Amino acid sequence: MLQHPTVAIIGAGPAGLTAASILQQHDWQIAIFDAEPSAQTRDQGGTLDLHAETGQLALDKAGLLPCFNRIARHEDQDTRVLDYRSATVLAEDLPAPGEGQRPEIDRRALRELLLSSLAAGSVRWGHRLEKVTNDVSGKHRLNFENGRSECFDLVIGADGAWSRVRPALTDVQPVYTGTTFVELWIDAIDVRHPALARMIGRGTMFALHAGLGLVAQRNGNGHVRVYAAIPVAPNEGRRPDIALAGITKNGLLKRFGGWSEGLLRLISDADAIAAIRPIFALPAGLRWTHRPGLTLVGDAAHVMPPVGVGVNLAMLDAANLAEALVSASDWPLALTQFETMMLDRAAGIADNAASGFADMFSADAPSGLLDHMNSRRA
């Protein structure tokens, strides 16, 4: 049996921490590097619905599923689609208890759950990777922006859409989809805005029309994140986020002329515009020439538009990789076989994600989303 390799995981997100948790359970020595100064520095983003066959399965492999089920929001799984002009309900998906369960969890709570399973000091915060280079020893050298460097036998890039590990494997970068999300926050919605709370329901609400969209998602503690989706052509600015820099709620409202006044309150009553998020994706079916001791998982390998599969697939990637490594007598071979499996699996899922996202913001929206909801109920 080959000796355990020295392992570096780049990125302390759901994928990186899932892999780390399973590897540590099997006494593998790992180091996790993350660019953020601490676990609490940055807002981690909105809520996540974890699917039984992917995200929940990964947590089960890490021994964390019972803890997840205790803290997850099982009551916030509903989906509804509203008409953009009248705000009337066009379709609802209300899972019955015990059926099709995809409980929600805030990203910060998921990170805390995964971190709780690791040995103290496993994550080295404040280490933003600059690049990966070959070392004379045959290992991979990690060069960090803080001036430090270190060598490892195995480097796992779990560092998201703009991965610093990916350029060591391929020159391909994510491509802009043409749609940008302006994220707004509403706190204590049930107390401060009960009419909006009733309109959103218990879960996620969509209103879509001719390339525009308003998507509202319940998070924990009465917090709601609203995503105002608008088409922004690349020629409107050097980057879509620069083109929209400084946009106000009034400026955003003007883009939604003719929409229901009730829906527009998701913008006008919001506490703040929190972020501008251009939506990027890697080409479906991306491949690269395998390099021994170097791989990617999750968004670093196959970032897709946000249609509910990204984090789930990333966590399953990470769990599958960790299990392949700890059960192998030849870990380099196991790495090659895992990578092939991961990319094969992601190719079809990425195609479906791209087409689903395009349907959401097409000229005849929300017909594609309604068809998808009807097919799930059939």
The 10s digit of each residue's pLDDT in 290-328 is 999 999 999 999 999 999 899 999 999 999 999 999 999
Q: Quick check: 1 pLDDT over 50?
A: no
In a domain, 96, yes or no: no
Phi, psi of 192 (to 5 degrees): -90, -30
Chain length of the chain = 378
Average pLDDT, the chain: 93
Whole-angstrom distance between the N-terminal and C-terminal Cα of the chain?
50
Q: Quick check: 335 pLDDT over 80?
A: yes
Last residue of a domain, one of 213, 246, 281: 281
pLDDT band at 76 (very low <50, low <70, confident <90, very high): confident
Find the domain containing 258 and state its range. Answer: 176-281
**182-193: b (≥16 Cβ within 10 Å) or e:** bbbbbeebeeeb
- Together in a domain, 55 and 129: yes
- The count of domains in the chain is 2
Q: CA 160, CA 277: separation in Å to the nearest integer?
A: 14
**21-32: b (≥16 Cβ within 10 Å) or e:** bbbbeeebebbb
Its pTM stands at 0.93
Phi, psi of 6 (to 5 degrees): -75, 135
pLDDT band at 214 (very low <50, low <70, confident <90, very high): very high
Q: Quick check: 343 pLDDT over 80?
A: yes
CATH number at residue 23: 3.50.50.60
pLDDT band at 376 (very low <50, low <70, confident <90, very high): low
Under 8 Å CB-to-CB from 211, ≥6 apart: which residues?
A: 179, 230, 231, 361, 362, 363, 365
Q: Quick check: 98 pLDDT over 80?
A: no
pLDDT at 313: 97
Q: 3-state DSSP helix/strand/coil percent for the chain, to nearest 5? A: 35, 25, 40
Q: CA 14, CA 7: separation in Å to the nearest integer?
A: 17
Q: Quick check: 42 pLDDT over 80?
A: no
pLDDT at 100: 57
CATH number at residue 273: 3.30.9.30
Phi, psi of 377 (to 5 degrees): -80, -20
Under 8 Å CB-to-CB from 38, ≥6 apart: which residues?
A: 125, 126
